[in-house]
Amino acid sequence: MVRCGARIVICVQAVMRSRWLSRCLLWMTGRIGDLRNGHRAIRIAPRHAREKEVERLLASRALHRLTYGEFLNPPPEPVGDFARGRQDRLARAELEGVGLRP
């Protein structure tokens, strides 16, 4: 009787782990695909664009992703920096946000 209970426990654990593993693998493949696409879009694809144009585009993307709470924080002042042409911090934040190093 004890052996049967142990087999049931092992089978239940195997099923649970296989479900977890399949979900984990699906998430990992999606995440790796996102990183590859981000790397291609930011580093490889804009060969004909100037670095300043790419930086401005990344800063614009970061600016559009900000929440209202982040807009109201006065010290960084992201909108003012963008308007004055200082996009380096926003571009760095966007690269870090998608998992790429600036």
Query: Mind listing the pLDDT tens digit for each residue in 31-46?
Result: 888 888 877 777 776 6
Q: Is the pLDDT of residue 74 over 70?
A: no
Q: Residue 63's domain spans which residues?
A: 50-102
Indicate if 56 and 102 belong to the same structural domain: yes
Indicate if 64 and 40 belong to the same structural domain: no
Is pTM beyond 0.75 here? no
pLDDT grade for 2, boundaries at 50, 70 and 90: low
**In this predicted structure, what is the pLDDT of residue 93?**
78
Indicate if 35 and 54 belong to the same structural domain: no
Indicate if 30 and 69 belong to the same structural domain: no
Q: How far is CA 68 from CA 52, 74, 89, 99, in A?
A: 27, 12, 18, 23
Number of domains, the chain: 2
Indicate if 18 and 58 belong to the same structural domain: no
